[in-house]
Amino acid sequence: MKITVIGTGYVGLVTGACLAELGNNVLCVDVDTHKIAVLNNGGVPIHELGLKELIVRNVNAGRLRFSDDIVAGANFGDIQFIAVGTPPDEDGSADLQYVLSAARNIGAHLSEFKVVVNKSTVPVGTADKVGAVIQEELDKRGETDIRFSVVSNPEFLKEGVAIEDFMRPDRIVIGTNMDEAGQKAQEIMNALYAPFVRNHNRILFMDLRSAEFTKYAANAMLATRISFMNELANLADDVGADIELVRQGIGSDPRIGYSFLYAGTGYGGSCFPKDVQALIHIAQENGSRLHVLEAVEKANEYQKNILTKKIEARLGHDLTGMTFAVWGLAFKPDTDDMRAAPSRVVVRELLARGAAVRAYDPVAIDEAKRVFAMDLEDEPALLARLEYSTDALDAVAGADGLVIMTEWKAFRSPDLKQLKTLLKTPYIFDGRNLYDPALCKSVGIEYFGVGRGHIKS
């Protein structure tokens, strides 16, 4: 099939590369000429395991191309995937300007039947707006016989394992209209995804609004589990329980399961924060309130400062003259994504209290430098006390404490005796509960996890 993917961000690149891998002819287009130049020169603007190799293989095979020619993109694909950003507005609603701009361009050049697929995460009712914009452009041109169908096909990709998620999906949600054009779109989408479901049909066809709602509902549920466990972890600290043991105790119940039950410093990234906010806003627009999700969001914002509160409880509010090593900056491992990363809150708070910070992350250093320069552009004195290490142990040497923000595999089994020797004072503030408190205690390290019951040496 001939496929156009509009947008070369995280979702667009993974979608385009994976569909090309299945033998489709894919053109990815973007208005960002710099990003297209990087891709055409063999680079990849994001870090995702296996993505660069997948892109190079399919570019070399002639199945995948990149262009900043938006008109060419509109004319190329029989299926037009819209995979552009939907950043949150100030009120928390999703900004649809890029989605609707893509739709307008498709409508301006539509000459035959095409399936227009919303791959971006969009509010309920967006498919109707996309269809209206396309039809408006057709009407301007006096084209009364050209047909199209708008489809909702939300992505369910986890950063770090996105290619695996795309190639071996647990479900493929497709929302269509039930008219003649919608039935034709169903047939086309069914054929497109047939290679992914040969062993077991995972395609779920539904109406457009239910498909759009499904994406938000899924992310809201996962965010709720995270905030729920973080709330319990904070209580576990107060009552002297160990949340890791509690997690095992409740996760073994098949009605609950283990996924997304790890206590920590709150969720971040490009999806959960903005999608929870957007769903809350959708409810408000419809005269309703999502009380649980409002609490989820509030709990998550509180949790981002939980390590700062632990540091203050042990070392005081004024941290002037102290240096903290921070391991991990990306919001999760196997990505360089710094969007809404809890590390941004913790690092800023440490700097604001007078401390210096030496930060290390296996892949996110360049992105972190860009993000913190932006976050602290009006506070140069704070930015001056933030430095970056190219080695995890170098960051620790002489520090007054180690703060762990991301659960990279490389951080999971350190030589605790060596850490004890390198640290100026033996404090570990573990935002991901990577270590056994008893082992830390045995080597003389004072350990502070999240929900580990105030265990000290």
Contact yes or no for 380/302 (Cβ under 8 A): no
Contacts of 370 (CB under 8 A, 6+ apart): none
Among 106, 153, 95, which Cα is nearest to 133's?
106
pLDDT, mean of residues 43-63: 95
HEC letters along the chain: CEEEEECCCHHHHHHHHHHHHCCCEEEEECCCHHHHHHHHCCCCCCCECCHHHHHHHHHHCCCEEEECCHHHHHHHCCEEEECCCCCECCCCCECCHHHHHHHHHHHHHCCCCEEEEECCCCCCCHHHHHHHHHHHHHHHCCCCCCCEEEEECCCCCCCCCHHHHHHCCCCEEEEECCCHHHHHHHHHHHHHHHHHHCCCCCEEEEEHHHHHHHHHHHHHHHHHHHHHHHHHHHHHHHHCCCHHHHHHHHHCCCCCCCCCCCCCCCCCCCCHHHHHHHHHHHHHHCCCCCHHHHHHHHHHHHHCCHHHHHHHHHHCCCCCCCEEEEECCCCCCCECCCCCCHHHHHHHHHHHCCCEEEEECCCCHHHHHHHHHHHCCCCHHHHCCEEECCCHHHHHCCCCEEEECCCCHHHCCCCHHHHHHHCCCCEEEECCCCCCHHHHHHCCCEEECCCCCCCCC
The whole-number pLDDT of residue 454 equals 62
Per-residue pLDDT for 91 more than 80? no
Among 257, 242, 268, which Cα is nearest to 333's?
268
Per-residue pLDDT for 287 more than 60? yes
Interval 350-406: pLDDT, tens? 999 999 999 999 999 999 999 999 999 999 999 999 999 999 999 999 999 999 999
Banded model confidence at residue 184, pLDDT cuts 50, 70, 90: very high
Q: Do domains 2-206 and 223-448 have the same CATH topology?
A: yes
Per-residue pLDDT for 205 more than 60? yes
Class of domain 223-448: alpha beta
Interval 329-346: pLDDT, tens? 999 999 999 999 999 999
Per-residue pLDDT for 455 more than 60? no
In whole numbers, what is the pLDDT of the chain averaged over residues? 95
Banded model confidence at residue 144, pLDDT cuts 50, 70, 90: confident
Whole-structure pTM value: 0.91
Banded model confidence at residue 167, pLDDT cuts 50, 70, 90: very high
Distance CA 406, CA 152 (A): 33
Enumerate the β-bridge partners of residue 64: 26
Whether CATH 3.40.50.720 fits 2-206: yes
Contact yes or no for 26/119 (Cβ under 8 A): no
Catalytic residue among 18, 28, 271, 440: 271
pLDDT, mean of residues 146-157: 95
Contacts of 384 (CB under 8 A, 6+ apart): none
Which strands form 25-29's sheet, in the order they lie side by side? 64-67, 25-29, 2-6, 79-82, 114-118, 148-152, 172-176, 203-207
Per-residue pLDDT for 254 more than 90? yes
Per-residue pLDDT for 93 more than 60? yes
Burial of 187 (0-12, 13-18, 19+ CB in 10 A): exposed
Contact yes or no for 357/396 (Cβ under 8 A): no
The whole-number pLDDT of residue 457 equals 36
Contact yes or no for 447/437 (Cβ under 8 A): yes
Per-residue pLDDT for 456 more than 50? no
Contact yes or no for 338/330 (Cβ under 8 A): yes
The whole-number pLDDT of residue 175 equals 97
**Catalytic (active site) residue 271:** yes
Distance CA 403, CA 343 (A): 10
All structural domains of the chain with their residue ranges: 2-206, 223-448
The whole-number pLDDT of residue 88 equals 81
Distance CA 88, CA 352 (A): 27
pLDDT, mean of residues 167-191: 94
Banded model confidence at residue 217, pLDDT cuts 50, 70, 90: very high
